[in-house]
Amino acid sequence: MPASRSPIPDFLYGTAWKEERTAGLTELALRAGFRGIDTANQRKHYFEAGVGHALAASYRAGVLTREQLFLQTKFTYQPGQDHRLPYDAAASYSIQVTQSLASSLKHLRTDYLDSYVLHGPVSGDSWTPADAETWEAMIRERNSGRTRFLGVSNVRRQHLEQMEVTRAEMPSFVQNRCYARFGWDRDVRLFCRERNIIYQGFSLLTANPEVLRDSLVTCLAKEMNATPAQIVFAFSLAVGILPLTGTSDEEHMQQDLAARGLKLSPETVQMIESLAG
């Protein structure tokens, strides 16, 4: 792993559900200015090798270097996969982690990741022994230098509390779908804030169409010469959410990044946080 490492970005470009457009859109996002890429070794919803193709093309073109990129991918259990598994289904979870990560490094044409994320626990209700085994295997991969940070995704507060009770090492990142009607995942965000865990929020737009139509947001957008989507992203940054966007539109990529320059008053932030669908 090189001594010079990319900083944690303030925006991530998500690569899910893009299939044959993955490479082109990922390269477009990098040219637009994104320096954080999120993917997964889950062929059912992601084309990780397509991301690797985009990275190689971007490096060749001088858009950026590997050291300037924050690269995050995920380990996904078999129930979340289709038949195109990146590991031996009969192997232990520990071996599956090793095999999946090796496959990711090959797909992404790198010898290390910046973040490796558990793509959801086995159970929606508890942190299980299977999760503990998987997490320990991920820690070993981190200790070996194949990733800088570890994270968990699609978790509830009780998963994190159970990790803590069992004295498991806590993640550097938590990545969840973020619904306004659930307080923008307030319980999990609060847990993360109290422990200096960075909260990554995805589906900030698609999970919250009612917010984009809300008069508060539309009026703010008009006043600030912005779009409702930019207001949502500016809000997310103001409350400590590291946002993901998966837009396939070049203009929207530029707009999403420009949202970093919008400053909302504390009163406005509180009003948006209180919106419910």
- Cβ proximity of 86 and 100 under 8 Å: yes
Q: At what angle do helices 266-273 and 215-223 cross, to 10 degrees?
A: 150
**pLDDT above 80: residue 1:** no
pLDDT at 30 over 80: yes
Looking at the predicted structure, is the pLDDT value of residue 33 above 70?
A: yes
> Percent of the chain scored above 70 by pLDDT?
98
β-pair partners for 202 = 177
* pLDDT > 90 in the chain, percent: 97
* Banded pLDDT at 4 (limits 50, 70, 90): confident
Yes or no: say if 64 and 30 are a contact pair by the CB < 8 Å rule.
Answer: yes
Interval 91-131: pLDDT, tens: 999 999 999 999 999 999 999 999 999 999 999 999 999 99
**Residue range 52-97, pLDDT digits in tens:** 999 999 999 999 999 999 999 999 999 999 999 999 999 999 999 9
CA 238 remoteness from chain centre = 18
CA-based nearest residue to 64, from 28, 31, 38: 31
Question: Contact at 8 Å (CB) between 167 and 135?
Answer: no
Q: What is the rounded average pLDDT of the residues 221-229?
A: 98
pLDDT given at position 48: 98
pLDDT tens digits for 146-196?
999 999 999 999 999 999 999 999 999 999 999 999 999 999 999 999 999
The predicted structure's pLDDT at residue 241: 98
Tell me, what's the pLDDT at 2? 52
CA distances from 230 to 105, 237, 245 (A): 33, 11, 11
Q: What is the pLDDT of residue 277?
A: 47
233: pLDDT strictly greater than 60? yes
Global confidence as pTM: 0.96
Helix axes 48-60 and 93-108, enclosed angle (nearest 10):
30
As a whole number of angstroms, the distance between CA 208 and CA 36 comes to 23
pLDDT score, position 40: 98
Mean pLDDT of all residues in the chain? 97
- Residue 261 burial (CB < 10 Å; 0-12/13-18/19+)? exposed
- Band (pLDDT 50/70/90 cuts) for residue 275 is confident
CB contact at 8 A, 96 and 136: no
